[in-house]
Structure formats: C-alpha cells, structure tokens
C-alpha cells in the first residue's frame, strides 16, 4: 500500500506545475550538495555530463568525485527558470542563479548553472546535462579575461591552502 | 566543425544579429520555440521577436565571457550556456547576463532555438 501511495505521490508531483518542480529540484540539489554530497550520485547516470568551469566530466562516478572535491557551499538561490521540451524524451530544462560561499572564508561569489532533467521510469528525474559557471568578481570594471583568471587563481590558491586537490 | 566550434559560431551569430538587426532573429526560432526573458514566458517565433524588438533600448552590444555546450540527447540537440555582459548605448555600466539555448538541428543542416532562457544578473 505504501508503495502505491508513493507512486501516486510521484505521479502527482510530475503533473504539477513545472516551475514548482524546478524550484523544488534546485533547492533539493543545493541542500544535498551542502549536507550529503555523496548522495548526489543518485541524480546522475552513466551518460550524464557535467561541465564545471570549463572542465568536462562524464558519468555519475566521475561527476560525484568532482563535486566532492569542491570547497564551497551553496549560500542561496536567486532565480530558477524552467522550460519543458516535448517528447519523445520530455526533458525539463532548469536554469539557476545563486551564490556560493567558500568554506571557512567570507568570500561569496555568484554562480549560474543549468540542468537538463530527464524523467526516470520510477517517476523521478535524473540529470543528463549539467553546466556550472562562476560569475567574475568586480564585473565589469575589470576586463572579463583578467577577472576570470584572477578568480580561478584565488580559488585555486584557496583550494590548495585548504588541502583540497585542484584537479 | 566540432560541437564547441558550432556552439561558439552560433552564439556569435546570435548576438551579432541581436546587436545589429534584432528583427532578423525570427529566422532562428520556430513555432514551438520558447523564450523565458527575465521570468516572462513567450512562445513562438513571432511573439518572441515581438518581445525582443520591444525591449526598452535601441542599441546594445553583447560581450561574451563564457560559452559551454553539451549534446542534449539522441535527437542531435545541443545545450549552450552563455555568460557575459550587455552594454546599452549611452550607458556607462554593463549589465551581466546569462543565457541558456537549447538548439535543435534543421533539415538544412543548421540549428534553430527550441528553448531560450535569459536572465540579467543584478547582484
């Protein structure tokens, strides 16, 4: 009986407003990232792709390894936008803007990411595509090239000094 | 051309058209295309072009910082994620933006925009 109730719940969830689903997914993702990063593995599959600051990673295992190495937390979400696209796959595109905070530092930085969510047979979603980018600091008074390099360098320095491997 | 090259070429063409001849963007959308512009949802090439040509500025220039792309599935679709800044004519500061395109192949061997999500970044 519990199993059937859960199926019904999931069916109802899937037929609910896509904006609500997208917002719920974004919040669930960020919360899981902050509290139990290894659990993110359940959201990715073999063919999933992540591009993190230009680095391309494929497959749930490699993606979770990359996510586990990142020394920041999601601080808050600004905007969540989504669009369906029609079958045969029936995917949901979600675009999220927000702020990350570097662990143990006062440094916060805006970030943007997009997800392409595919429905699973179990009535849930998995992440087929995921792209993550930081917005440069002090934009645009510093030329973007320099901005990105200096931010990457600062993050790199923070990463190494806190004992995390950069790559 | 490799996918990254295709994505880059598309993005440059899109913003060049936007900055130089906004009405011509209609050729890049179709009936089923969707645009979410700062939270407003618009569907179909005609309505999308009407929205873009009615924005409250005449001239603008897009500066692209990053372009990332990934294939979106067996249909040959491509997801393109752009970050950059828009300079409006007569304004000192630039507006940061991010934009997500979901491109689908056309029979002619080109791409059209099926999904488009645009956001300014105010913070």
**pLDDT digits 0-9 by tens, A143-156:** 334 444 444 555 55
Q: pTM, whole model, 2 decimals?
A: 0.84
Asked if residue B104 lies in contact with residue A93, where contact means CB atoms within 8 angstroms, the answer is: no
- pLDDT category at A164 given cuts 50, 70, 90 is very low
> What span, in angstroms and rounded, lies between the C-alpha atoms of B44 and B47?
6
Comparing A38-47, A126-135, B89-98, B103-112, the range with the smallest average pLDDT is B89-98
Q: Which domains does chain A have, with CATH numbers?
A: 1-139 (3.10.450.50)
Contact: B94, A148; criterion CB under 8 Å: no
Domain count for chain B: 1
Which domain range does residue B93 map to? 3-120
Closest by alpha carbon to B67, among B7, B1, B3, B2?
B7
Determine the distance in angstroms separating the CA of A114 from the nearest CA of chain B, rounded to an integer.
8
User: Does B51 have pLDDT greater than 80?
Assistant: yes
For chain B, the average pLDDT equals 93
CA B103 vs CA A122, B28, B71, B120: distances in Å? 28, 9, 9, 21
Give the mean pLDDT of B30-58.
95
Q: Which residue has the higher pLDDT, A138 or A27?
A: A27
CA pair distance A20, A26, nearest whole angstrom: 10
The strands making up B29-37's β-sheet, listed across from edge to edge, are B40-43, B29-37, B111-121, B94-105, B78-88, B60-71
Number of C-beta neighbours around residue A31 at 10 A:
11
Res A138 pLDDT > 50: no
Which of B70, B84, B100 lies nearest to residue A49, judging by beta carbons? B70
Residue B83 sits in a domain whose CATH number is: 3.10.450.50
Token pair belonging to B94: 């630039």
Q: If you average pLDDT over residues A6-21, what whole number do you get?
A: 64
Q: What pLDDT is recorded for position A137?
A: 57
Which range has highest mean pLDDT (A4-18, A41-55, B87-101)? A41-55
Q: Among all residues of chain B, which has the CA nearest to that of A83?
A: B115
Residues in chain B: 123
Q: What is the mean pLDDT of residues B19-46?
A: 96
pLDDT confidence of residue B56: 85
DSSP A46: E
Q: What would the two tokens of residue A144 be? A: 């973007």
Residue B88 touches partner A, C-beta closer than 8 Å? no
Task: Answer whether residue A158 shows pLDDT above 50.
Answer: no
- Smallest Cβ–Cβ distance between A129 and the set B75, B79, B96 belongs to B79
Q: Are B10 and B92 in contact (CB under 8 A)?
A: no
Question: Best residue in A139, A143, A145, A152 to probe B by mutation, most B CBs within 10 Å?
Answer: A139
């Amino acid at each position: 009986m519990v199993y059937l109730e859960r199926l019904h719940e999931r069916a109802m969830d899937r037929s609910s407003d896509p904006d609500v689903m997208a917002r719920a997914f974004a919040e669930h993702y960020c919360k899981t990232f902050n509290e139990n990063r290894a659990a993110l593995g359940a959201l990715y599959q073999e063919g999933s792709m992540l591009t993190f600051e230009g680095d391309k990673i494929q497959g749930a295992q490699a993606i979770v390894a990359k996510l586990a190495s990142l020394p920041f937390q999601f601080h808050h979400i600004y905007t969540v936008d989504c669009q369906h696209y029609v079958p045969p796959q029936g995917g949901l595109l979600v675009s999220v803007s927000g702020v990350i905070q570097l662990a143990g530092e006062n440094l916060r930085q805006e970030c943007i990411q997009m997800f392409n969510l595919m429905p699973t047979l179990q009535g849930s979603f998995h992440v087929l595509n995921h792209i993550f980018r930081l917005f440069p600091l002090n934009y645009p008074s510093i030329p973007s090239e320099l901005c990105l390099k200096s931010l990457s360098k600062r993050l790199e320095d923070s990463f190494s000094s806190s004992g995390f491997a950069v790559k | 051309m490799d996918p990254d090259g295709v994505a880059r070429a598309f993005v440059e063409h899109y913003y060049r058209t936007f900055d130089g001849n906004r009405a011509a963007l209609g050729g890049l959308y179709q009936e089923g295309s969707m645009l979410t512009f700062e939270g407003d949802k618009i569907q179909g090439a005609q309505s999308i072009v009407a929205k873009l040509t009615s924005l409250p500025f005449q001239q603008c220039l897009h500066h692209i910082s990053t372009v990332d792309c990934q294939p979106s599935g067996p249909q040959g679709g491509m997801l393109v994620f752009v970050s950059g800044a828009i300079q409006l004519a007569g304004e000192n500061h630039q507006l940061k933006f991010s934009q997500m395109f979901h491109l689908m192949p056309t029979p002619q061997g080109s791409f059209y925009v099926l999904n488009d999500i645009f956001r300014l970044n105010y913070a």
